[in-house]
Amino acid sequence: MSFYQHHVFFCCNQRDPGAKISCQSAGASELRDYAKKRIKDLGLSGEGKVRVNMAGCLDRCEEGPVIVVYPDETWYTYVDRSDIDEIIDEHVVKGRVVERLRI
């Protein structure tokens, strides 16, 4: 059994200036903080539940910003808090993949 039911990794990498896409430049750290707080507020954080972490480069910059949800190995892109809310509400809570954000 996994230590967490879901482990959500946010790419928070900052690429070199002039790079076309960078997750960090798209607000990844702020949205990770938002997701972490929301998971905690919903009572979903901790052992056997959900963990939200930042990651270095996840090497999918052209599709970013990106997160990956394990153990489901589901990759998502997002734009704002409403996208993060949808991923939490649908995937993390209800177990349904959010196809419109899946990459």
Which pLDDT score is estimated for 19? 65
CATH number of the domain where residue 10 is located: 3.40.30.10
Residues 16/72, Cβ–Cβ less than 8 Å: no
Section 56-83 average pLDDT:
93
The answer to whether residue 38 sits within a structural domain is yes
The answer to whether residue 56 sits within a structural domain is yes
Query: Strand 66-70 relative to strand 74-77: parallel, antiparallel, unpaired?
Result: antiparallel
Total Cβ atoms within 10 A of residue 67: 29
- Residue 55 token pair: 């990651």
Residues 102/75, Cβ–Cβ less than 8 Å: yes
The answer to whether residue 1 sits within a structural domain is no
How many domains are contained in the chain?
1
The answer to whether residue 50 sits within a structural domain is yes
> pTM value?
0.92
Residue 16: domain span? 6-101
